[in-house]
Chain A
């Protein structure tokens, strides 16, 4: 008798529990869908806005465009100078990522043994660079760039980007380089490899995941950087996308369609890369954060 009621009770409790679980799971999906909706809404709105004509913005502020103004993009290409700023952005980002990753990997290899003289001090020096506000060094930098005749060229962006990318690169890569087994390095030494060969043939291939993290980490902020080009690049010829858009809106403040076509062009490549490599992006970007 008691056993029967006990079983009955347990079964009832089990069913109750299942129902609660299902309700929790349903509530969770509702909540997460709502969050996704609020995150995606502005991005969807940006894409719609890039296809709208000026009267559409007033007559039909949040609906679909009444006629899809695809020529916003071709006009932005010409009038908002995307034809200049997009290649600029690609070139600057590519050079700066390669430069900063290469130099940071050299530094990380050089500092990988903490007991060597100056290793800790130099590591601290590089990592302290993370906290330097750009406003502090940008003016002396400007004078320096003028002195070397780089002002007004794309190198006026590439040089500071590489320098600002180094701290993050060293922060992420130094621990990676430190975990490379010493036996491997000494084995290569025994085989007669010189330090350069050890770096190039042994250490660099082993640091590959770290190199990808740093490339993503630096690539994203270099692509999106606004302050340095705002100070350094006055001419369209040397501007990148973000500052180009700001300059354009200063000149034609009502052409929202063209502005958003440019914003989409500047956002789409990063988003596309992100969707292709979601995992690397998330782990790469958080790697820097967790180590800092």
Chain B
């Protein structure tokens, strides 16, 4: 009896978790086997047809590609600019606390607030950026940032960069502070220059931060929804150039501007959400396995 006594403590949480997460996830799988629209009670079981349809549904790939572009851009940004800022902060300049506090600040600002701030900043006529450019006689640089098909996605990426920069700085800084100074000193005595010390000693020792940040960025960018919803709306305007998986699934499940009730395909939307879940689980598992291998214990 005592052998299982610990499970009594797990039980309340487990019941709650089963009712609100596991149960609905299983139910979602059942819905993914139907052609239910989400309204009314009219549905038929159609087997795996939704999954096959999703595999040949090109907007699904378009949205996934946008997610992927955002992921790569943010990843590069965090591992270059974020790492560079962290290295500068690790040199412990004066006001280091101030800089660190400021850089992390946007992380706690909600993505909805971030979206509103930047909607106004980037607005074509009222905003901040275009009027400043005009007054600096750089008017030719002004763009319709969020409605020009060529600029909309890069602009969304810049906004996400602003919101997520703090993660990389704080994660890398924590990693840098964990490295014992003797290791860098030892390399210096052996005649390594600063550049060599950084790439041969410091950077390999930062691999736990690298792993955490990469996985975190992957999960975050493939879940993008709030920012796009606020900046360019649930249809990822202009002309779906900023459409991501989050907004696309939302649109098929619950509608959005330009969509009416006859377009709703709840079963199909849930199918795509399940595919997203499976892909994310697999990629995270693979990334952690691959990236953990290059981690070294100090």
Encoded as 1 (CB less than 8 Å from any A CB) or 0, chain B from 21 to 61 comes to 11111011001000000100000000000000000000000
In the assembled complex, the Cα of A34 lies from the Cα of B135 at a distance in Å of: 21
B165 to chain A, nearest CB (A): 7
Q: Are B93 and A32 in contact (CB under 8 A)?
A: yes
B16/A163 in contact, CB under 8 A: yes
B39 vs chain A, min Cβ distance (A): 11
Binding site for B on A (CB under 8 A): 25, 28-29, 31-32, 35-36, 38-40, 42-43, 45-46, 49, 57-58, 61-62, 103-104, 106-107, 109-113, 116-119, 122, 125-126, 128-133, 135-137, 139-141, 143-144, 159-160, 162-164, 166, 170, 195, 199, 220, 223-224, 226-227, 230-231, 242-243, 245-246, 249, 256, 259-260, 263, 266-267, 270-271, 274-275, 278, 281-283, 285-286, 289-290, 292
Smallest CB gap from A145: residue in B: B20
Of the candidates A49, A103, A128, A226, the one whose C-beta lies within 8 Å of that of B12 is A103
Name the B residues within 8 Å of A159 (CB-CB). Answer: 20
* B274-A136 in contact (CB<8A): yes
Interface string of B69-101 (1 = CB under 8 A from A): 000000000000000010011010111011111
Q: How far is the CA of A133 from the CA of B245 in the complex (A)?
A: 11
Report how far A260 CA is from B126 CA in the complex, Å. Answer: 14
The minimal Cβ–Cβ distance linking B134 to chain A, given in whole angstroms, is: 9
Contacts A/B (CB < 8 Å), 10 sampled: A28-B93, A29-B93, A39-B106, A42-B118, A135-B253, A136-B28, A140-B25, A226-B110, A242-B112, A271-B108
Contact check, B162 vs A140: say whether CB atoms are below 8 A apart: no
Chain B residues with a Cβ under 8 A of chain A: 3-10, 12-14, 16-17, 19-25, 27-28, 31, 38, 85, 88-89, 91, 93-95, 97-113, 116-118, 120-121, 125-128, 131-132, 162, 165, 167, 170-171, 174, 208-209, 212-213, 215-216, 219, 223, 225-226, 229-230, 246, 249-250, 253-254, 266, 269-270, 273-274, 276-277, 280-281, 284
Is chain A's binding surface mostly helix, strand, loop or mixed? helix
CA distance A116 to B8 in the complex (A): 13
**A166 with B17: CB separation less than 8 A:** yes
CB of A137 within 8 A of CB of B21, answer: yes
Q: Are A140 and B120 in contact (CB under 8 A)?
A: no
Q: In this complex, what residue of A is CB-closest to B222?
A: A133
Q: Label chain B's interface by main secondary structure.
A: helix
Cβ contact within 8 Å between A62 and B131: yes
**CB < 8 Å neighbour of A132 from B19, B21, B107, B250:** B21
Q: How far is the CB of B146 from chain A (nearest CB, A)?
A: 15
Cα of A86 to Cα of B92 in the assembled complex, Å: 39
> In the complex the two chains form, is B10's CB within 8 Å of A39's CB?
no
Given A39-B102, A139-B266: A246 and B174 interface contact (C-beta under 8 Å): no
